[in-house]
Amino acid sequence: MKKLLIIGAGFAGLRLARKLSKSNFEIWLIDKNNYHQFQPLFYQVATSGLEPSAISFPLRKVFQNQKNVHIRCAEVQSINTTEQKVTTSIGSLPYDYLVIATGATTNFFGNQLVEQNALPMKSVGEALYLRNRILQNFEDALIADNDTRKALLNVVIVGGGPTGVEVSGALAEMKKNILPKDYPEIDFSQMNIYLVEAGPKTLGNMSEASSLKSREYLLKLGVDVMTSVNVTSYDGTTVSLSNGQNIVAKTLIWAAGVKGNVVEGLPASNIVRGNRISVNRHNQVMGLNNVFAIGDIASMSTAKYPNGHPQVATVANEQADLLAANLLLMANGKLPKEYEYSDKGSMATVGRHLAVVDLPNFKFQGFLAWIFWMFLHLMLILGIKNKLLIFVNWMWKYFTFDQSLRLIIKPTKK
């Protein structure tokens, strides 16, 4: 039985393991967490819309009946392709086939001061930390002087992609419907939500209609949208912008870019733009026949996508599906098939009844797009219980204009 080692249990890694769970491969799935996390809804954890458990699913539950799947919680330290082994925090693991599905992390573009003080949102843990920070700021604002209160109330979101747009809209709805009831002593007209985007428009990778509509929706909700502007510095209190403006804010949410989570041990020539791993059309790492990379970490150059495919869940799932089929073909001495991306569209939600959807042959916005966005995300969540939890929370919020998850839960250590 060939040993298949998969690093990472995100969309790509988990999908591949599930596809091959009934095959003759001995599968080892390595991740630093014992759960899969649904990244598109991190922003709802950060804004008190959902609990972390609603968008996380235990890996061991997924594979309870698959005896050929072995799960290990560990940090991967390095790869040795010559000896065909991976060094982890729990020891070395040999492999016959290796699949790297380590995904992406926040890219601060070399700005160390921003990295030290900004709040990323690339994991459930970071989303929960952000929720705590936002809620604690409101508590602190009750007893602060006027200047400090202004900094505590203001929030700056950097990055006008789907994450930035969605978290801006969610915070704007909290400001309107929830926070004045929770904190009647605070004048929330003093709270400003800024969305800062370096490009000329929000949702720059979507259609012109969706981009314009998203900006219109954000302005309608009271978000101050600033395009063609960069954040040059942030010391924890003052946000400095490329247009010369300074904003006082204790919270800066960084949603401006990602870079690949590359594991040490691969040749430097394999690491390309965006800190991604260069692969061929079969997702094989260049020059390594039994090492593959899929999902956000993989950079596959094609005529249509010379700089690699979009780092979205659709690509991760499609590459995992094809690699599962190719590994079975290769195990039987047959030639693997090439990957070709089938773009199924993109979408983003801004707020209640406000969303944009771009499908290959159809684009629409507003209430129908909002319903479509919710339905699709609900279907993609693992587990009936998780789907039910999210649905109940969404319905409760819809009918009450409230969400009852505003808890500041901080870890303690004895």
| Nearest by Cα to 356 from 222, 169, 201, 209 | 209
Helices (H) and strands (E) in the chain, counts: 12, 25
Q: Catalytic one among 51, 115, 126, 166?
A: 166
**Per-residue CA distances from 291 to 45, 325, 333, 360 (Å):** 35, 15, 17, 33
DSSP-based three-state secondary structure for 109: coil
CA atoms within 13 A on the CB side of 413: 0
Q: Kindly tell me the sign of the dihedral angle through the C-alpha atoms of 205, 342, 104, 363.
A: positive
Distance CA 94, CA 80 (A): 9
Q: What is the DSSP letter of 350?
A: E
Q: What angle do CA 386, 357, 392 make, to 5 degrees?
A: 25
> How far apart (Å, rounded) are the C-alpha atoms in residues 146 and 44?
29
26 as an active site residue: the answer is: no
Residues contacting residue 411 through CB under 8 Å, at least 6 positions apart = none
Phi, psi values for residue 170, rounded to 5°: -65, -40
Give the C-alpha separation, 266 to 202, whole Å: 36
- Locate 318 and state its tokens: 């499609």
Catalytic positions, please? 166
